[in-house]
Amino acid sequence: MDILFGAVASGILLGMVLALVALGLTIIFGLMDIVNFAHGEFLMVGMYTGLLTAQATGMDPLFTLPLAGAIGFLLGVACYGGFVKYLLRGPMIAQLLGTFGLMLLLRNLALLFFGSEDRALHHGLLVGKSFDVGMGIILSATKLAVAALSVLAFCGVWLLMNRTKTGKALTATALNRQGARYMGIPTERMNALAWGIGGSTVTVAGALLVNFWSVNPYVGLIFTMIAFTVVALGGFGSVPGAFFAGLVVGFIMEIPGFWDFFAITFDIGWMADVPMTSFKYTWIYVAYFVIMLISPRGLFGWKQ
Amino acid sequence: MKISSKCARLLVGIFLLTALVLPSAVTAEEIKIGVLFPLTGGAASAGRELRSGAELALDIANNAMPDINMTMAKNAGIKSMGGAKITLIFKDHEGNPTLGADLAKKLILDDKVHGLMGAYHSAVTKAVSVVAEQYGVPLINDSSTSPELTKQGYKWFWRTTPHDVYFTKDLFEFLKGLTEGKVKGVPAVPKKEIMNLASACEKTEWGAAVSELIEKFGKEYGFEVKKSILYAAKATDLSSEVRSLIAVKPDAMLFASYTSDAILMMKTLKDQKAAPKLLWGQNAGFEVPEFVTTLGDTTVGSLTRTVFIPKIAQVKPVAAKVNAMYKAKTGNDLSGASARSFTGLQAWVHVLEKAGSLKPADIQKAANAIEIPGDELVVPWQGIKFATTGDDIGQNTLGMGLIGQYQKGADGKIDLEIVYPFNVATANMIYPFPKF
């Protein structure tokens, strides 16, 4: 049973972490309908920001989060104003190829400046600490912190979208850009704002992730894939949907843990021999494929 | 008169010709060796070690240092080629086999190297060995340990380091010794207490081979391998792997990891409160200096197989001498990586000295014939002599491995102590592995 509880707890924590990673994309892609393949690279920028500021100043990476957020906001706004704005004038394919190019640019800039070495933080208030709460559940302090921030960030974005005028303007822009402009909504500014918020949430996530994951210039790809799965699963346009989708993806990544539970509890020999951990990312792609097949609008989506 | 002036002119001509031709034939030919190491990427720190080791050996080979008791230290350059100096051309393959093969081609075709050395990652070495074989350029491998590499029957490939069949067998001999009370400072451990093993190995050529060997020898020695995991060395997260290991409650955890993943593995093990009685790493990531400098006390009690432990200096004067020079140059002691690249280049020097020419066929013949005695080496081997027959062609038959344990000395410094072979143990073993 310990194995089962451990896997469930770890799935929930990981799910909240992944939801936070995907929040930025939920805003940019899910809400505003602009594809961003460079999402994982934004995360990478956040990770390097957290790592380098912590190393340069000797401060705990927790205290440099606002800086990471600010850099992410500026990066998002700059990318939109200097680049994506022009892509929107073209067909959909322009967004696909354009943000794909942005991804390559950011990745190669990182290679140029930081090299291809893996880098990681080894010291910090939370690094290496974990709590054993019994029943096989071990919670690491770093992941708990990210999970807490994840809940806060999701609440914040939900409030922004549903309780403020700006949120209404953002939704209007996403639904019908031309119509919104006729109503006097500064749509350009709304899009830039969405990119800014999206960028800052993902860089803050990155700055926290670097507490327990190492960073290299290639780290973005897997997170881009995960984020797209979360957004697709949660449904386009739904903030709470993205959060629950994050949890589902967390559980999907925990499949090896559940597999072990069955193999060991029921002593099934052939199950124990299957190298499930080698396929832990495979299930995400399988899930993405299945969702696209049976419910292209996702679980909670409202947009066509 | 006419005839004699013709004669004189002829003589002058011949003299000039010999003056021009002879010296270049006898002296000052430049010997170029292409060296492929992972200087960036996940194993960059091992790459730096390897490079420094090779550079130190180069320094000793190209300059006369009579106070070092090595043949290559006696002369400046290669004596049989009129003191020709060796130049190393380093290339960075980033741990990428495709890039490694491309760079090897470039070294052969553009830089016109006379030989190759490298490439640490077994997967890269495999790709490079195919290129070397294709172009007929000798490749001496110093530090890749997948057994497969010398099973290919290649004619241009030689390997100085022992491979993982030796090392994994060492591990099981060590475990057997542990149950028989042969380990210094540890009374015999009942076999059922150390029966269950679990392994996690990186999934390229090297780790996958180690994983298979652990299963094979486990069966042979009567241990039970409960779980074998293969993981990607570039993984950012190993928590589900670690939980899967812990789930089978292993007595001993065995690893084959490169640098960044070894550190991540240890951090995750600590995070998940793993409690094995024994923790062993198949060198590589477990013995680069970063392993100790980043993880500190967490490493105390973990074991690693290696071919060099600074304590060897106590019994091998030549190792003490070279280690001191290396420390002066880099600030670190020699490690399994740097000691092996040093030894790899040393083998190259002996081969060139014996060949006396740069013709590939002569080098090939010399490599198959050299015999370096053990007392000239910094590593604790009986010597270097390559197999020319059998199913392990090109493999050094005189190598052997060590198992070391990280222990904290009285000065608070964490060092490797030898625990295997039992007769050269330098300290009492810490058993069981202290809790994280």
Q: B198 and B295: one domain?
A: yes
Other CB atoms within a 10 A radius of the CB of residue A163 amount to: 10
Residue A61 near residue A51 (C-beta atoms within 8 A): yes
Q: Which of B243, B245, B266, B295 to mutate to test the interface with A (most CBs of A within 10 A)?
A: B243
Identify whether B103 is part of a domain.
Answer: yes
Contact of B60 with chain A, judged by CB distance below 8 Å, is answered with no
Are the beta carbons of A276 and B44 separated by less than 8 Å?
A: no
In chain A, residues with a C-beta closer than 8 Å to the C-beta of B228 are 275
Task: Give yes or no for residue B10 having a pLDDT over 70.
Answer: no
Q: Please give the pLDDT value at position A296.
A: 75
User: How many percent of chain A have pLDDT more than 90?
Assistant: 18
Are the beta carbons of B270 and A117 separated by less than 8 Å?
A: no
Task: Give yes or no for residue B384 having a pLDDT over 90.
Answer: yes
Q: Provide the token pair at A152.
A: 């806060």
**ipTM reported for the complex, 2 dp:** 0.77
Smallest CA-to-CA distance from B42 within B112, B3, B93, B107 is with B93
Cβ burial B193-221 (10 Å sphere, 16+ → b, else e): ebbbbbbbbbbbbbbbbbbebbbebbeee
Identify whether B107 is part of a domain.
Answer: yes
Task: Give yes or no for residue B18 having a pLDDT over 70.
Answer: no
Residue B212 near residue B199 (C-beta atoms within 8 A): no
Q: Please give the pLDDT value at position B34.
A: 95
* Integer Cα distance of A242 and A38 in angstroms: 19
- The listed range with the strongest mean pLDDT (A122-131, A161-170, A234-243) is A161-170
User: pLDDT tier at B22 (50, 70, 90 boundaries)?
Assistant: very low
* Integer Cα distance of B434 and B297 in angstroms: 10
- Mean predicted lDDT score pLDDT of chain A: 85
By C-alpha distance, the chain B residue nearest A256 is B240
Contact of B244 with chain A, judged by CB distance below 8 Å, is answered with yes
Q: B372 and B417: one domain?
A: no
Mean predicted confidence (pLDDT) in B355-366: 92
Other CB atoms within a 10 A radius of the CB of residue A152 amount to: 11
Contact of A239 with chain B, judged by CB distance below 8 Å, is answered with no
In chain B, residues with a C-beta closer than 8 Å to the C-beta of A261 are 247
Q: Please give the pLDDT value at position A2.
A: 76
Q: Which of A48, A117, A276 to mutate to test the interface with B (most CBs of B within 10 A)?
A: A117
Min Cα distance A24 → chain B (Å) is 21
Q: B104 and B229: one domain?
A: no
In chain B, residues with a C-beta closer than 8 Å to the C-beta of A278 are 203, 229-231
Indicate if the alpha-carbon torsion angle B213, B216, B219, B222 is positive or negative: negative
Q: What is the pLDDT of residues B91-116, one digit of tens each?
A: 999 889 999 999 999 999 999 999 99
User: pLDDT tier at B325 (50, 70, 90 boundaries)?
Assistant: very high
B325 vs B10, more confident: B325
Task: Give yes or no for residue B32 having a pLDDT over 90.
Answer: yes
Min Cα distance A51 → chain B (Å) is 15
Min Cα distance A195 → chain B (Å) is 26
User: How many percent of chain A have pLDDT more than 70?
Assistant: 98
Q: What is the CATH number of the domain that holds B281?
A: 3.40.50.2300
Contact of A67 with chain B, judged by CB distance below 8 Å, is answered with no
Mean predicted confidence (pLDDT) in A289-301: 77
Contact of A133 with chain B, judged by CB distance below 8 Å, is answered with no
A 240-279: CB under 8 A from B:
253-254, 256-257, 260-261, 264, 272, 275-278
Task: Give yes or no for residue A48 having a pLDDT over 60.
Answer: yes
Q: Please give the pLDDT value at position B1.
A: 43
| Rg of chain B, C-alpha, whole Å | 24
Q: B293 and B411: one domain?
A: yes
Mean predicted confidence (pLDDT) in B3-22: 55
Identify whether B260 is part of a domain.
Answer: yes
Mean predicted confidence (pLDDT) in A64-70: 89
User: pLDDT tier at B5 (50, 70, 90 boundaries)?
Assistant: low
Q: Which of B40, B96, B236, B269 to mutate to test the interface with A (most CBs of A within 10 A)?
A: B236
Which DSSP category does A117 fall into? -
Query: Per this entry, what is the length of chain A?
Result: 304
Name which of B228, B244, B248 is nearest A256 (Cβ-Cβ): B244
Beta strands B196-202 and B252-256: pairing type? parallel
Mean predicted confidence (pLDDT) in B281-290: 85
- Say whether the peptide bond before residue B119 is cis (omega within 30 degrees of 0): yes
Min Cα distance A297 → chain B (Å) is 30
Identify whether B77 is part of a domain.
Answer: yes
Residue B368 near residue B388 (C-beta atoms within 8 A): yes
Q: Please give the pLDDT value at position B310.
A: 84
Contact of B275 with chain A, judged by CB distance below 8 Å, is answered with no
- Say whether the peptide bond before residue B432 is cis (omega within 30 degrees of 0): yes
Identify whether B10 is part of a domain.
Answer: no
Q: Which of B260, B271, B288, B295 to mutate to test the interface with A (most CBs of A within 10 A)?
A: B271
Identify whether B294 is part of a domain.
Answer: yes
Residue A98 near residue A32 (C-beta atoms within 8 A): no
Are the beta carbons of A3 and B243 separated by less than 8 Å?
A: yes
Q: B262 and B301: one domain?
A: yes
Are the beta carbons of A260 and B237 separated by less than 8 Å?
A: no
B172 vs A263, more confident: B172
Q: What is the pLDDT of residues A181-223, one digit of tens each?
A: 898 888 888 889 999 999 999 999 998 888 888 888 888 888 8
Contact of B214 with chain A, judged by CB distance below 8 Å, is answered with no
In which domain, by residue range, is B145 found?
31-162+315-384
Q: B81 and B144: one domain?
A: yes
Q: Please give the pLDDT value at position B26.
A: 42
Q: Please give the pLDDT value at position B411.
A: 86
In chain A, residues with a C-beta closer than 8 Å to the C-beta of B230 are 275, 278
Q: B62 and B125: one domain?
A: yes
Domains with residue ranges and CATH for chain A: 2-294 (1.10.3470)
In chain A, residues with a C-beta closer than 8 Å to the C-beta of B271 are 128, 130, 138, 140, 212
Indicate if the alpha-carbon torsion angle A235, A240, A246, A247 is positive or negative: negative
DSSP SS3 for A8: helix
Other CB atoms within a 10 A radius of the CB of residue A188 amount to: 15
SS in 3 state form for chain B?
Answer: CHHHHHHHHHHHHHHHHHHHHHHHHHCCCCEEEEEEECCCCCCHHHHHHHHHHHHHHHHHHHCCCCCCCCHHHHCCCEHHHCCECEEEEEEECCCCHHHHHHHHHHHHHCCCCCEEEECCCHHHHHHHHHHHHHHCCCEEECCCCCHHHHHCCCCCEEECCCCHHHHHHHHHHHHHHHHCCCCCCCCCCCHHHCCEEEEEEECCHHHHHHHHHHHHHHHHHCCEEEEEEEECCCCCCCHHHHHHHHHCCCCEEEEECCHHHHHHHHHHHHHCCCCCCEEEECCHHHCCHHHHHHHHHHHCCCEEEECCCHHHHHCCHHHHHHHHHHHHHHCCCCCHHHHHHHHHHHHHHHHHHHHCCCCHHHHHHHHHHCCEEHHHCCCCCCEECECCCCCCCCEECCCCCEEEEEEECCCCCEEEEEEECHHHCCCCCCCCCCCC
Q: B124 and B183: one domain?
A: no
User: pLDDT tier at A126 (50, 70, 90 boundaries)?
Assistant: confident
B 286-315: CB under 8 A from A:
294-295
Name which of A118, A128, A275 is nearest B271 (Cβ-Cβ): A128
Are the beta carbons of B271 and A276 separated by less than 8 Å?
A: no
Q: B183 and B60: one domain?
A: no
Cβ burial B50-70 (10 Å sphere, 16+ → b, else e): bbbbbbbbbebbbeebeebeb
Task: Give yes or no for residue B35 having a pLDDT over 80.
Answer: yes
Number of domains in chain B: 2
Min Cα distance A257 → chain B (Å) is 6
Q: Provide the token pair at A110.
A: 């990182």
By C-alpha distance, the chain A residue nearest B229 is A275
In chain B, residues with a C-beta closer than 8 Å to the C-beta of A215 are 236
Q: B185 and B244: one domain?
A: yes
Q: Please give the pLDDT value at position A239.
A: 85
Q: B46 and B69: one domain?
A: yes
Are the beta carbons of B294 and A122 separated by less than 8 Å?
A: yes
User: pLDDT tier at B21 (50, 70, 90 boundaries)?
Assistant: very low
- The listed range with the strongest mean pLDDT (A118-127, A286-295, B47-56, B241-250) is B47-56
Q: What is the pLDDT of residues B326-342, one digit of tens each?
A: 999 999 888 889 999 99
Q: Provide the token pair at A208.
A: 């926290």
Name which of B40, B44, B240 is nearest A277 (Cβ-Cβ): B240
Task: Give yes or no for residue B89 having a pLDDT over 90.
Answer: yes
Q: Please give the pLDDT value at position A130.
A: 79
Q: What is the pLDDT of residues A8-30, one digit of tens each?
A: 888 888 899 889 888 888 888 87
Question: How many beta-carbon contacts under 8 Å exist across A and B?
Answer: 88
Which DSSP category does A123 fall into? -
Identify whether B282 is part of a domain.
Answer: yes
B259 vs B368, more confident: B368
Are the beta carbons of A257 and B260 separated by less than 8 Å?
A: no
- Burial classification of residue B332, based on how many CB atoms lie within 10 Å of its CB (0-12 exposed, 13-18 middle, 19 or more buried): middle
Q: B190 and B251: one domain?
A: yes
Q: Please give the pLDDT value at position B97.
A: 93
Min Cα distance A189 → chain B (Å) is 36
Q: What angle do the packed helices B317-330 and B44-62 form, to 10 degrees?
A: 120
Contact of A51 with chain B, judged by CB distance below 8 Å, is answered with no
DSSP SS3 for A118: coil
Contacts of B209 (CB under 8 A, 6+ apart): B122, B146, B147, B148, B164
* Integer Cα distance of B45 and B262 in angstroms: 12
Identify whether B1 is part of a domain.
Answer: no
Min Cα distance B410 → chain A (Å) is 25
In chain A, residues with a C-beta closer than 8 Å to the C-beta of B294 are 122
Mean predicted confidence (pLDDT) in B379-408: 89
From residue B146, alpha-carbon distances to B122, B164, B210, B221, B337 in Å are 6, 6, 8, 21, 15
Min Cα distance B271 → chain A (Å) is 6
A274 vs B262, more confident: B262
B235 vs B377, more confident: B377
Of the ranges A18-27, A127-136, B52-61, which one carries the lowest mean pLDDT score?
A127-136
At A279, give phi and psi (nearest 5°): -110, 20
In chain A, residues with a C-beta closer than 8 Å to the C-beta of B248 are 260, 264, 272
Of the ranges A110-124, A150-164, B361-375, which one carries the lowest mean pLDDT score?
A110-124
Q: What is the pLDDT of residues B394-432, one digit of tens each?
A: 999 988 888 999 998 888 888 888 888 887 888 889 988
Rounded to the nearest 10 degrees, how much is the dihedral formed by the CA atoms of A90, A95, A98, A99?
160
Q: Which of B226, B244, B249, B288 to mutate to test the interface with A (most CBs of A within 10 A)?
A: B244
- Mean predicted lDDT score pLDDT of chain B: 87
Determine the distance from the C-alpha atom of residue A105 to the mean position of all C-alpha atoms in its chain, rounded to a whole number.
20
Mean predicted confidence (pLDDT) in B254-268: 88
